[in-house]
Structure 1
Amino acid sequence: MVSTNPDDVRPGSVVGVLALAGIVAAIMQTLVVPLIGDLPSILDTTPSNASWVITATLLSAAVATPVAGRLGDMYGKRRILLVSVVPLVAGSVVCALSSSLVPMIVGRGMQGLGMGVVPLGISLLRDVLPPEKLGSSIALMSASMGVGGALGLPFAAAVAENASWRVLFWVAGALSLLVGFLAWRFVPAGRAGTGSARFDALGAVGLGIGLISLLLAVSKGSDWGWTSGTTLGLFIVAVVVLLAWGRWELRSTEPLVDLRVTARPQVLMTNAASVLVGFAMYAQSLVVPQLLQLPEATGYGLGQSMIAMGLWMAPAGLMMMALSPLGAKLSAARGPKVTLAVGSLVISAGYASSLLLLGSTWGLLVVTIICSGGVGLAYGAMPALIMGAVPQEETASANSFNTLMRSIGSSGAAAVIGVVLAQLTTDFGGHFLPSEDGFRTAMLIGCGVGLAAAAVASLIPVRPMESGAEAPGKNTEPHPASEAAA
Structure 2
Amino acid sequence: MTRPVAGRDNVLVAVLALAGIVVSLQQTIVIPLVPLFPRLLDASAADATWVVTATLLAAAVATPVVGRLADMVGKRRMLLFCLMVLVVGSTISALSSTLVPLVVGRSLQGLAAGVVPLGISLMRDQLPASRLGSATALMSASLGVGGALGLPLSALLAQVADWHVLFWAAGGLGLVTAVLVVTLVPESPQRAGGRFDLLGAVALSVALICLLLAVSKGGGWGWASPTTLSLFAVAVVALLGWGLWELRTPHPLVDLRISRRRQVLLTNAASAVFGFSMFAMSLVFPQLLQLPAETGYGLGQSIVVAGLILAPGGLCMMAMSPVSARISAASGPRTTLMVGAAVVAAGYLLGAAFHSAVWHLLLSSVVISSGVGLAYGAMPSLVMAAVPVTQTAAANSLNNLMRAIGTSTASAVTGVLLARITVSTGGSAVPTEAAFVLAMLLGSATALVALVITGFIPRRPEATPPAAAPADEAPADALVRGVVRTAGAAVPDAVVSVVGHGGVLLGRSRSGPDGTYAVPAAEPGASQLLVVQRDGLSHAEHLTGAGPHHRDVQLHPADRPERTDGPAVTPVMPFAEALSANGRHRG
Q: What residue in structure 1 maps to residue 164 of structure 2?
A: 166
Residue 2 of structure 2 contacts residue 586 of structure 2 at CA under 8 Å; is this kept in 1?
A: no
Q: What residue in structure 1 maps to residue 411 of structure 2?
A: 414
Q: What residue in structure 2 maps to residue 272 of structure 1?
A: 269
Q: CA-to-partner distance for each residue in 1:258-281, whole Å, 9 max, x for gaps?
A: 111110000000001001110000
Q: CA-to-partner distance for each residue in 1:419-468, whole Å, 9 max, x for gaps?
A: 11111100112211111010011011111101111111111114344253
Q: What residue in structure 2 maps to residue 142 of structure 1?
A: 140
The counterpart of 2:224, out of the listed 221, 224, 227, is 227
Residue 135 of structure 1 contacts residue 328 of structure 1 at CA under 8 Å; is this kept in 2?
A: yes
Gaps of 5+ in 2: 468-503, 507-521, 525-584
The counterpart of 1:127, out of the listed 121, 125, 128, is 125
The worse-fitting range, judged by mean Cα deviation, of 411-420 and 337-346 is: 411-420
Q: What residue in structure 2 maps to residue 449 of structure 1?
A: 446
In 2, the alpha carbon distance for the partners of 1:49 and 1:477 equals: 56
In 2, the alpha carbon distance for the partners of 1:272 and 1:404 equals: 11
Q: What residue in structure 2 maps to residue 337 of structure 1?
A: 334
In 2, the alpha carbon distance for the partners of 1:286 and 1:343 equals: 20
In 2, the alpha carbon distance for the partners of 1:195 and 1:443 equals: 46
Q: What residue in structure 1 maps to residue 202 of structure 2?
A: 205
Instruction: Determine helix, strand or coil for the equivalent of 2:429.
Output: strand
In 2, the alpha carbon distance for the partners of 1:483 and 1:258 equals: 29
Aligned residue identity for 2:31 = V
* Closer, same or farther: CA 382–19 of 1 in aligned 2, 3 Å: same
Q: Is the counterpart of residue 294 in structure 1 residue 291 in structure 2?
A: yes
In 2, the alpha carbon distance for the partners of 1:184 and 1:194 equals: 22
In 1, the alpha carbon distance for the partners of 2:408 and 2:358 equals: 27
Aligned residue identity for 1:226 = W
Aligned residue identity for 2:357 = S
Q: CA-to-partner distance for each residue in 1:172-195, whole Å, 9 max, x for gaps?
A: 000001111111111111233223
Residue 95 of structure 1 contacts residue 108 of structure 1 at CA under 8 Å; is this kept in 2?
A: yes
Q: CA-to-partner distance for each residue in 1:195-249, whole Å, 9 max, x for gaps?
A: 32x2111111111000000000000000000000000000000001110011111
The worse-fitting range, judged by mean Cα deviation, of 426-435 and 49-58 is: 426-435
Taking the TM superposition and a 5 Å limit, the aligned residue runs for 1:334-483 are 334-468=331-465, 480=523
Structure with a larger share of its residues in strand: 2
> Which gives a bigger RCO, structure 1 or 2 (Cα 8 Å, sep 6+)?
1
Aligned residue identity for 1:77 = K
Q: CA-to-partner distance for each residue in 1:280-308, whole Å, 9 max, x for gaps?
A: 00011100000011111111111111110
Q: TM-score, normalised by structure 2?
A: 0.79
Residue 355 of structure 1 deviates from its aligned partner by 2.3
Gaps of 5+ in 1: 471-475
In 2, the alpha carbon distance for the partners of 1:300 and 1:237 equals: 42
Residue 75 of structure 1 contacts residue 192 of structure 1 at CA under 8 Å; is this kept in 2?
A: no
Aligned residue identity for 1:143 = A
Q: What residue in structure 2 maps to residue 176 of structure 1?
A: 174
* Closer, same or farther: CA 186–127 of 1 in aligned 2, 3 Å: same
In 2, the alpha carbon distance for the partners of 1:208 and 1:259 equals: 16
In 1, the alpha carbon distance for the partners of 2:415 and 2:302 equals: 22
Q: In percent, how many aligned pairs have the same letter?
A: 55
Aligned residue identity for 2:152 = P
The counterpart of 2:108, out of the listed 107, 110, 130, is 110
Q: Aligned residues, how many?
A: 475
Q: What residue in structure 1 maps to residue 68 of structure 2?
A: 70
Q: CA-to-partner distance for each residue in 1:398-421, whole Å, 9 max, x for gaps?
A: 000000000000011011111111
Q: Is the counterpart of residue 312 in structure 1 residue 309 in structure 2?
A: yes
In 1, the alpha carbon distance for the partners of 2:312 and 2:466 equals: 37
Q: CA-to-partner distance for each residue in 1:92-148, whole Å, 9 max, x for gaps?
A: 000000010000000000000011111000011000001110001011111111211
Q: Is the counterpart of residue 246 in structure 1 residue 243 in structure 2?
A: yes
Instruction: Determine helix, strand or coil for the equivalent of 2:35.
Output: coil
> What's the C-alpha RMSD, in Å, of the aligned pairs?
1.7
* Closer, same or farther: CA 265–251 of 1 in aligned 2, 3 Å: same
Aligned residue identity for 2:427 = G
Residue 505 of structure 2 contacts residue 523 of structure 2 at CA under 8 Å; is this kept in 1?
A: no
In 2, the alpha carbon distance for the partners of 1:445 and 1:404 equals: 22
In 2, the alpha carbon distance for the partners of 1:312 and 1:372 equals: 12
Residue 483 of structure 1 deviates from its aligned partner by 5.2
In 2, the alpha carbon distance for the partners of 1:423 and 1:137 equals: 42
In 1, the alpha carbon distance for the partners of 2:64 and 2:80 equals: 16
In 2, the alpha carbon distance for the partners of 1:34 and 1:77 equals: 33
Q: What residue in structure 2 maps to residue 258 of structure 1?
A: 255
Q: What residue in structure 2 maps to residue 473 of structure 1?
A: none
Residue 149 of structure 1 deviates from its aligned partner by 1.3
In 1, the alpha carbon distance for the partners of 2:366 and 2:202 equals: 40
Q: What residue in structure 2 maps to residue 186 of structure 1?
A: 184
In 1, the alpha carbon distance for the partners of 2:461 and 2:17 equals: 29
Aligned residue identity for 1:386 = V
The counterpart of 1:52, out of the listed 50, 53, 67, is 50
* Closer, same or farther: CA 419–469 of 1 in aligned 2, 3 Å: farther
